[in-house]
Amino acid sequence: MDYFLIATVLIVLSAAFGYINTKFLKLPNTIGLMLITIVFTLAVFVLSYFDDTLLLKEKELITSINFKTVLLDVMLSFLLFAGALHTNFQQLKIQRKPVLIFATLGTFVSTFLVGVFVYYALQLLSLNVDFIYCLLFGALISPTDPIAVLGIMKKVGAPKKLETKIVGESLFNDGVGVVIFLTIYQIANGGSDISFAHISELFLVEVVGGIVLGLVIGWVTYRLLKSIDEYDTEVIITLAAVMGGTLFAQKFHLSAPLAMVTAGLIVGTDTVRKTSMSEVTELYVDKFWELLDVLLNTILFVMIGMEILVLTFDFDYILAGFIIIPLLLIARYISLLLPIKLYAKKLDFVPKTNLIMTWGGLRGGISIALALSLTQDMERDLFLVITYIVVVFSILVQGLTVGKLIKKFTS
């Protein structure tokens, strides 16, 4: 299939499913779209017993899309910039220490705990998987997905200090998670040159380099916006910053997501807005990125729903997925204990912060994209099914109920 046809089909489906959700279901956009797409795909499966034409066409469409490349190399930068642009920078500055620990130490601890829990759970199911591959799964599933979290947090009305912790962690922990994933991936793939120095270098280049690049992009964008007053040109400048910055980061092996988060936070701060944008420019910049955010989110969650077509339906794999869901929640709860205990009194955390952040730490497209990058030797089919089940549960069940949980403990 050519790119225009693929894009057209995805946008038409997104528009149709979005209309159904808005008109009838009235669920948060990400939840409604995923649910409708999964139901649609399952209906196509049923219909295939009578006529498999539509199923074959849908399979052709989804196999024509390199989900990992489309999400991690293209869509993610736009989505993170848009999310960071509308994040409360002052609150994030106040909460920076716990957010930093959540995104670093929390991700490391969660990766190890998930690896251990999954290893023994699979052993109980007579699925003999090497521990290194279980650890690799821990690395891809531990980071919370900023796209899913941002979409849900906008709807649930969480207190700002709680929302900042959850969103801030999600914006930054994917960069750390990718470094951990790449390191374990190289070890699992037989890499012999892995050392502490190598890991430190990878971390510095990816994470620190990405943040520094984001600071530069944010500063240059600010100076350009400040020097003119023409809203259409200024909107294009922000778009160029994301696209050019992403290409530069990919070229020099820096973390494009962290660069875009940092740049978005800078451009979105009240000080930068007041000194570099007129009211008209600010309105158009915000509306442009809100619209782009909605469009890309819509397409993303339709694609996630359709990814069910690439799964290997094995009863043991499906059973493993459901067994591992509570184990992941336990691992996340434990990984959040230390930073919450350290800063609970100093920063006046809301009641049951650990419980809310555990349930509100949604997984999404990033985990699926990383699972798709596994090789067959790394138990790709098994971990892809488990990842998909975890993501669907996370979005549909946790996403639908986290708002009630927040209201229960904060109202």
Query: What is the domain range of residue 17?
Result: 3-63
Residue spans of the chain under pLDDT 70 = 1, 191-194
Query: Distances in Å between the alpha carbon of 3 and those of 64, 85, 237, 300, 361?
Result: 9, 29, 26, 16, 33
pLDDT of residue 1: 65
pLDDT of residue 179: 80
Whole-angstrom Cα distance, residue 47 to residue 9? 20
The CA radius of gyration of the chain, in Å to the nearest whole number, is: 21
348: left (phi over 0), alpha (psi -120 to 50) or beta: left
Residue 57 and residue 71 in one domain: no
Residue 37 and residue 82 in one domain: no
Give the CATH number, domain containing residue 270. 1.20.1530.20
Q: 105-135 b/e with 16+ CB inside 10 Å = b?
A: ebbbbbbbbbbbbbbebbeeeebebeebbbb
- Where among 48, 63, 78 does a domain terminate? 63
Domain count, the chain: 2
Residue 175 and residue 284 in one domain: yes
- Where among 39, 63, 87 does a domain terminate? 63
Residue 54 and residue 198 in one domain: no
Residue 365 and residue 263 in one domain: yes
pLDDT of residue 339: 86
Q: Which of 87, 158, 151 is nearest to 403 (CA)?
A: 158
Residue 142 and residue 184 in one domain: yes
Residue 129 and residue 54 in one domain: no
What is this structure's pTM? 0.93
pLDDT of residue 94: 86
Q: Output the CA torsion sign for 91, 93, 96, 98.
A: negative
Q: For residues 209 and 255, is the Cβ–Cβ distance under 8 A?
A: yes
Residue 29 and residue 154 in one domain: no
- Where among 23, 41, 63 does a domain terminate? 63
DSSP label at residue 189 = T
Residue 107 and residue 229 in one domain: yes
Whole-angstrom Cα distance, residue 215 to residue 221? 10
Residue 112 and residue 13 in one domain: no
Q: What is the pLDDT of residues 37-83, one digit of tens each?
A: 999 999 999 999 999 999 999 999 999 999 999 998 999 999 999 98
Residue 72 and residue 56 in one domain: no
Query: Distances in Å between the alpha carbon of 173 and those of 114, 202, 306, 388?
Result: 16, 15, 26, 20
Residue 47 and residue 89 in one domain: no
Q: For residues 235 and 288, is the Cβ–Cβ distance under 8 A?
A: yes
